[in-house]
Amino acid sequence: MTNFLLAGGGTAGHVNPLLSLADAIMSDDTGNRVWALGTREGLEATLVPERGYELLIVDRLPFPRKPSLYALSFPIRFRNAVNQVKKYLRNHNIDVVVGFGGYASAPAYLAAKSLGIPVVVHEANALPGWANKLGSKSAKAVGVAFHSTPLPKATFVGMPLRKEIEELAQGTDQEAARIHFGLDPDTVTLLVTGGSLGAKRINETIEKSRKVLSAAGIQVLHIVGGRSDLPEIHSKDYVRLAYCDRMDLAISASNAAVSRAGASTVSEFAAVGLPAVYVPYPVGNGEQKLNVAELVSADGGILVPDVDFTPDYVSNFVVPLVSNSRALADMAAKARKVGVADGTARLLRLVKGVL
């Protein structure tokens, strides 16, 4: 029996790999015990308890980037967070800490180090965050989802995927998946998604391109995200949803996709061989462009800058691509060669190796 603390959260990109590993740990040995460490504000506050795991809370403490009263108080508040995690580690007799980045991970790494508890870091993005940079310096092992991730001692393990996505890599029932969304079971289908919050450029461009896509005989499953004002629609060849809780079926239903390039999305599409046009998020540190770099180099995906994803691009490039079954099959095969469908098992082996 081993006691695990899995630290991370904030976004689905941190929480979903954490939960995938948690499930694998319990499947590996039902005597194991798993706790998650996160914040009250992140998605983990909802998703972790829903999956049946206890969430231990630590304060959300963004690293200060400019002088302020918060910056002055940060060292004390951070030290208090580390001390809180130490109490969790002692009270639950934790044997190993696995961190996935995010606000909860940094205090977990330092608390575990001070108590001599081994740490394993998993970095989902090609460009690591500051918490995982910190944790990797003293970690017993570091797993990365992309070969190019610049962390010391890194082992490539891929992304821990949800069980339903792993199963898609073994085969899909495309007809049933299309019927689930009210789509025609025999019509080529384009999945459009910008993630849970949506992507303004992608949403607006696809809305303006609906007639062109329809005229080309392409039906669209469009997931606009929670921040979009576009209403849900269920028409003959266009289904628009605010949110989709069955992304496995959305992927299964589709011949190709247009998407942002978040680490989880890129990893899932590659693992199942879904050809995609990636439109990286144009704001921030540019990590999304790096996430898809290897896949694009292998011709398993296509990158287009946000500013260039226009109705003309859809007409002149997306429509011909989606209409070319041979080109899609070639892209799918190349994506699978890059993708990793057993990232959860690989990460679990890495974790067990430090015990």
Segment 151-169 mean pLDDT: 93
Question: Is residue 288 scored above 80 in pLDDT?
Answer: yes
Quick: pLDDT tens for 125-152: 999 999 999 999 999 999 999 999 999 8
Q: How many domains does the chain have?
A: 2
Question: Is residue 197 scored above 70 in pLDDT?
Answer: no
Residues 162, 324: contact at Cβ < 8 Å?
A: no
Quick: pLDDT tens for 291-315: 999 999 999 999 999 999 999 999 9
| β-pair type (233-234, 238-241) | antiparallel
Taking all residues of the chain, what is their mean pLDDT, rounded to a whole number? 93
| Same domain for 174 and 151 | no
Question: Is residue 243 scored above 70 in pLDDT?
Answer: yes
What is the domain range of residue 348?
A: 3-159+341-352
CATH code at 71? 3.40.50.2000
Structure confidence at residue 198 as a pLDDT band (50, 70, 90): low
| Same domain for 314 and 187 | yes
The closest alpha carbon to 7, from 32, 42, 52, 31, belongs to 42
Question: Is residue 352 scored above 90 in pLDDT?
Answer: yes
Residue given tokens 């260039």 in the structure block? 308
Residue 10 CA from chain centroid, whole number: 12
| Same domain for 136 and 222 | no
* Confidence (pTM): 0.93
| Same domain for 256 and 275 | yes
